[in-house]
Structure 1
Amino acid sequence: MERIPIDWIMEVPPITRTYLLGVVGFSLLAYTGIVTRTDCYYTSELVFKKHEYYRLVSSFFYYGKISLDLLLTLFMISRYFKALEQTYARSIDFVWCVCLLASALVLYSTFVENLYQLGPYLNETMLYIWSRRNPDVEMTVLGLINFRAVYLPLISIVATRIASNGYQFKWKAEFAAIIVGHLFIYYNDAFPRVHSCESPLRPIWCWFGDAEITNQEIANHEIENQDADEIEDPRQTNNGNEIEAENGNGVADNEHEEINQAALENVEVPNENQQNDAEVVDPNGIRPRRPF
């Protein structure tokens, strides 16, 4: 029983695991009083005018003190971050994706609407991206309401409004994650298909020589999968050869039987009357006349 949590943590991909540990660490710091809530707010004035650059990190890792809401948030992070990270061939590519989304949220909070705590918006952005890439997955709320995953971001907003008991609705803040996630989905997934080109949001190292290496790694990965699928083909081929050999032996045996049958037909078999005549002796001592 003591190894179950460790095994579960090690099954989580490295980037998601690091982010989860960072969220838990900041929550413990806030619980002990080392870090206050105001230390984890992002505002452009404090960051760029008073040079409090640590807020660029703390605002993404602070989700509040240890509580039931934090446990639910950790579950959502482990689920949707993990699902997205597993779609990338390399962890560094997923790091680039997270940095892009975090930078977009910082710009949105600076020029559109101040979001203060950016971590929950990053989590909702990941949730939106996952829902758009898996729109037909069946979801349920308390086993009572069934819906498709494409509606999950809107239901999450409604549930957040109900839980916060707040009636003041700021659409720029509420739809920040949807806007940022939709822009990422368009330029990373839809734009390359529509214009038959590379994604403008691909990692910076893919713009140069490392792109060939990445494509080669992906091609090698596909070849390995094809080889794994074709492991049974040589066995099937050998089985087919054995079957053909058996069929060939069967044909040869049939031909051999036909030849023997033909040879037997060409041999003159004496008639029963001839055998009887040969055995009968004429009383006069004269051999019986052969019937011609």
Structure 2
Amino acid sequence: MAYQTLQQEYLQIPVVTRAYTTACVLTTAAVQLEIITPFQLYFNPDLILRNYQVWRLITNFLFFGPVGFNFLFNMIFLYRYCRMLEEGSFRGRTADFVFMFLFGGLLMTIFGTFVSLVFLGQAFTIMLVYVWSRRNPNVRMNFFGLLNFQAPFLPWVLMGFSLLLGNSIIVDLLGIAVGHVYFFLEDVFPNQPGGGRWLRTPSIIKMLFDTPEEDANYNPLPEERPGGFAWGQGQRLGEGQRLGG
């Protein structure tokens, strides 16, 4: 019975969030069990171009380090904000969401080449957080019960937290930069005088991922709190109570 409940809950997770989060967890588990090593996963342009190890273009986004606080922290934020985007502003637009993944991943791969980053999963998470935060500017955030701020500040708060943990902020800055490029091209520039849409999801992606009809009985979780986690929880301005308090 418990297995069926767990399976049902798992299958209710939107498809892109479910696929990416599962891939990250399974990759980390495989490393922990010594089935594979990080040396087989990291981003290396020379090995990709010369030895045709093209899987590294994907696997470097799937490994977040050994199981520990940093891994759990990243997984919670990845799941939370990926799901909020998929059930929020990308509701019914799976192909557009996949295209954002591809666009963001391509930009990070290009930029990552110049800053010598070998794993880009954390930067990708920050990109998702950045896009969500800019699309929900009126949500008030509470971080670990210590800080209260508006959603657009969340990526910078996470960067500061990463700095306190002794991590390099280059990864966070890369995620913020790529997130801003996507947000500007998708949400800002088309609404400017003389602007237009530069990002258009290719028809083949729409054909593969978009379904013609949606389930009328589907009831998505509120965009500002899909996972029920207390880290970085939010509420919209004017709400009387703090969500998840």
Tell me the TM-score range normalised by the shorter chain: 0.7 to 0.9
The 3 A distance-change label for structure 1 pair 102 and 198 is same
Is the Cα contact below 8 Å between 2:122 and 2:172 reproduced in 1? no
Aligned to 2:153: 151
Aligned to 1:84: 85
The 3 A distance-change label for structure 1 pair 49 and 170 is farther
Q: Which deviations, in whole Å up to 9, do the C-alpha atoms of 1:89-127 show, x marking residues without a partner?
A: 2322211111111111111112x3122101111111111
Report the count of equivalent residues: 209
Give the residue type in structure 2 aligned to 1:98. Answer: F
Distance in 2 between residues matched to 1:158 and 1:66, nearest whole Å: 22
Greater C-alpha Rg: 1
Q: Any unmatched runs of 5+ in structure 1?
A: 225-292
Greater Cα shift, 131-140 or 61-70: 61-70
TM-score (norm: length of structure 2): 0.76
- Does residue 56 of structure 2 align to residue 58 of structure 1? no
RMSD over aligned CA atoms reads 2.7
Q: What's the secondary structure of 1:140's corresponding residue?
A: strand
Aligned to 1:192: 190
Distance in 1 between residues matched to 2:50 and 2:39, nearest whole Å: 17
Q: What's the secondary structure of 1:61's corresponding residue?
A: coil
Match of 1:136 among 135, 138, 146: 138
TM-score (norm: length of structure 1): 0.65
Distance in 2 between residues matched to 1:97 and 1:170, nearest whole Å: 23
The 3 A distance-change label for structure 1 pair 198 and 54 is same
Distance in 2 between residues matched to 1:133 and 1:41, nearest whole Å: 32
Q: Which deviations, in whole Å up to 9, do the C-alpha atoms of 1:242-263 show, x marking residues without a partner?
A: xxxxxxxxxxxxxxxxxxxxxx
Distance in 1 between residues matched to 2:13 and 2:145, nearest whole Å: 26
* Structure 2 counterparts to residues 1-292 of structure 1, below 5 A: 2=2, 3-86=4-87, 87-88=89-90, 89-110=92-113, 112-163=114-165, 165=166, 171=170, 173-195=171-193, 198-205=196-203
- Higher RCO (CA 8 Å, separation ≥ 6 residues): 2
Q: Which deviations, in whole Å up to 9, do the C-alpha atoms of 1:37-73 show, x marking residues without a partner?
A: 2222102122112322111111011112333332332
Give the residue type in structure 2 aligned to 1:10. Answer: L
Deviation beyond 3 Å, 4+ runs, structure 1: 195-198
Give the residue type in structure 1 aligned to 2:152. Answer: V
Is the Cα contact below 8 Å between 2:137 and 2:152 reproduced in 1? yes
Q: Which deviations, in whole Å up to 9, do the C-alpha atoms of 1:218-261 show, x marking residues without a partner?
A: xx99xx9xxxxxxxxxxxxxxxxxxxxxxxxxxxxxxxxxxxxx
Is the Cα contact below 8 Å between 1:109 and 1:115 reproduced in 2? yes
Q: Any unmatched runs of 5+ in structure 2?
A: 217-245
Give the residue type in structure 2 aligned to 1:150. Answer: P
Is the Cα contact below 8 Å between 1:131 and 1:150 reproduced in 2? yes
Distance in 1 between residues matched to 2:186 and 2:193, nearest whole Å: 12
Is the Cα contact below 8 Å between 1:12 and 1:78 reproduced in 2? no
Distance in 2 between residues matched to 1:58 and 1:132, nearest whole Å: 28
Distance in 2 between residues matched to 1:134 and 1:117, nearest whole Å: 28
